[in-house]
Amino acid sequence: MTNYLVTGATGLIGRHFMREVLADPETERVWVTVRPGSRDKLDRMARDWPNRDKLTPVIGDVSEERLGLSEDVVQQLRGRVDHLVHLAALYDIEADDEANERINIAGTANTIALAAEIRAGCLHQVSSVAVAGDFAGTFTEDMFDQGQRFPTPYHRTKFESEKLVRDQHDVPWRVYRPSIVVGNSRTGEMDKIDGPYYLFPAIQKLATLPAVPFVAPDLGDTNIVPVDYVAQALHELVKRPGLDYRTFHLVNPEPQPVLAVFNAFARAAGAPTVATTIGGKFGRTLVDVVKFTEHLPGVTIARDALLERLGIPAVLLDNMNFPSVFSSAATRKELAGTGIDLPRLEDYAATLWAYWTEHLDPFRARRHRGPRGKLDGRHVIITGASSGIGRATALKVAAAGGVPLLVARRQAELEQVRKEILDAGGKAAIYPCDLTDHEAVHKMVEQMLDEHGHIDMLVNNAGRSIRRSIRLSYDRMHDYERAMAINYFAAVRLILAVLPHMTQRKFGHIVNISSIGVQGIAPRFSAYVASKAALDYFSKIAAVEMHGDGITFTTIHMPLVRTPMIRPTKIYDAFPTKSPDEAADMVMDALINRPKHIGTPTGQLINAAYNVTPGLTDAVAYQAFRVFPDSAAAGGDGKLKIGKGERHLGRAASALVRLTRGFHW
């Protein structure tokens, strides 16, 4: 019977290896080191492992002496471990020197020391073909230090950690060098983006194009193997006697052209494939031109922005292919007759692609799956949902298959809106909340996530409008504070509350209902328009910062809409306005198509006029300011009277209303 001590059991190779070891009838006991914070993760994984009674977790950390194991555990292990399998490592070509050295070098040194102390039968170091660095030519299993150079800290620290194992004489050792490890060839299971997976977002975008073969430069060769093959081969080589002080390459015996790998996944995705490669001097020149862009600041920014959008780290450009060809003759000889065969990528590429699209695609939350349209199944927060634009939008979202999460202060009115939606066969949930209350907003968002799992979109519709000239506001600072409290601070508060969730999912769309007044000069709306303008510019900046996280923003410069908010301003009885239903159509356009901006021709014209002739625009707006007086309710003289049911405006006022349809005067 055989006993094992395993580090890195929760990693991709580790958990596949654990299934093999625990299923082996010759296995008696398997101790696994696990950090305190990963104990729950190990327990979840172990539920699917066979013979769990053979498993003994021990709290430890490879970055600490003795792997952080207690004295009692060390005593328990002494003389009982036949195989110490060291799988714990940091694999990240973007990680810095400090992180790589702490895990890969110090972690290996600590493991070697423990192996000697507990008198382990053999130390099995899972290294990597990265130790070959920039070596050009055939790299055999007997080769190690060939004067190669290392392009990243990962390459260097894998070499140095393997060297530590080779140079010590206290414990017999074996070294295993996998190439790029992809998911399980049968299930597709994978836990991180690596190797060819970096190409997947680009392939997914190409899948939307006609399947016309194209030409590409020769990108050289790579080498990938599925994790189930690695785990099976590793288990077989670990337990087999007589193999100490040898190295095994767990690789594809034939180099795989990068473009052939690309084509295998492109076919799985239904994307165009590369029909012809441009090789030789011209092909290398094209690749060199792309690499040269790192020396051109303006081009570099554009290139890196594109790579980030595709989820491809810039460092991958220099590490996409292997200059080495990895010989695996000795490994294949040992595995002959065991039934452990390396499957062809073409036979399991579709399995990997399907798993990636379902579980690993960082932008999978963006994909639409509902049969009723782009909003089908989307959870959409709508503030100010008890009446007006918010209510009309909620009804339309629900009719499109979305789930509006209705927010307003008055619960009874929200209940009525929800009833309308439910009666029509839709779904909705209500959340009475004072959006000026920081704690209440965060509790509301937590409740939404608990009840619905995710939030896709947010419509910041709740607002307060104040129509009063500045000369009547000298002692009314509270007007500006109230406007900012609901129109700006409340909206930003809610945005900040949902952004962590949206950025984690790499998807979210936020619609802010602004005002046509921001596009021009709206006299008497200094409090209202300023608060909306603040939100406009917050959103512009947020859209830039959140671009890489897949969060998008739409600003709607809404014209005058006949809602309860404008009812107290009787002068607007004489103005042509949009209905809440028409305004909701603009919001639906923002949710479905997600443009940067939605407005009206009038708003665009006024904005252009101010930008081109600001002085003249000020003069014209001043005349309008004189034509439309402050209402009596605002503290003005109210000389322009609007009788009940009447629409009497002066000639100049009527002309301005027609000329600037939808504008707030």
Positions marked catalytic: 528
Cβ-contact 627, 620 below 8 angstroms: no
User: What whole-number distance in Å separates Cα of residue 589 and Cα of residue 583?
Assistant: 10
User: What whole-number distance in Å separates Cα of residue 172 and Cα of residue 161?
Assistant: 16
Residue with tokens 């296995």: 27
Q: Any idea what DSSP says for residue 170?
A: S
Interior CA angle at 354 toward 348 and 357, to 5°? 140
Residue of 543, 540, 575 whose CA lies nearest to 559: 575
| 116 Cβ neighbours under 8 A, 6+ residues apart | 168, 170, 171
User: What whole-number distance in Å separates Cα of residue 117 and Cα of residue 590?
Assistant: 65
User: What whole-number distance in Å separates Cα of residue 142 and Cα of residue 134?
Assistant: 17
Interior CA angle at 119 toward 114 and 124, to 5°? 70
DSSP-derived pairing of the beta strands 246-250 and 180-182: unpaired
CA distances from 153 to 146, 198, 239, 356 (A): 18, 19, 32, 27
Cβ-contact 489, 481 below 8 angstroms: no
Residue of 143, 153, 159, 91 whose CA lies nearest to 326: 143
Q: What are phi and psi of 176, to 5 degrees?
A: -125, 130
Residue with tokens 């190295």: 247
Cβ-contact 664, 518 below 8 angstroms: no
| 469 Cβ neighbours under 8 A, 6+ residues apart | 523, 524, 625, 630, 634, 636
User: What whole-number distance in Å separates Cα of residue 249 and Cα of residue 326?
Assistant: 7
Strand order of the β-sheet with 122-126 is 55-59, 27-34, 2-7, 83-86, 122-126, 173-178, 246-250
Cβ-contact 511, 586 below 8 angstroms: no
| 55 Cβ neighbours under 8 A, 6+ residues apart | 18, 22, 30, 32, 46, 49
Residue of 486, 543, 533 whose CA lies nearest to 509: 543
Cβ-contact 126, 155 below 8 angstroms: no
**Residue 149 exposure: Cα atoms within 13 Å on the Cβ side:** 2
Residue of 322, 329, 331, 328 whose CA lies nearest to 135: 322
User: What whole-number distance in Å separates Cα of residue 36 and Cα of residue 127?
Assistant: 25
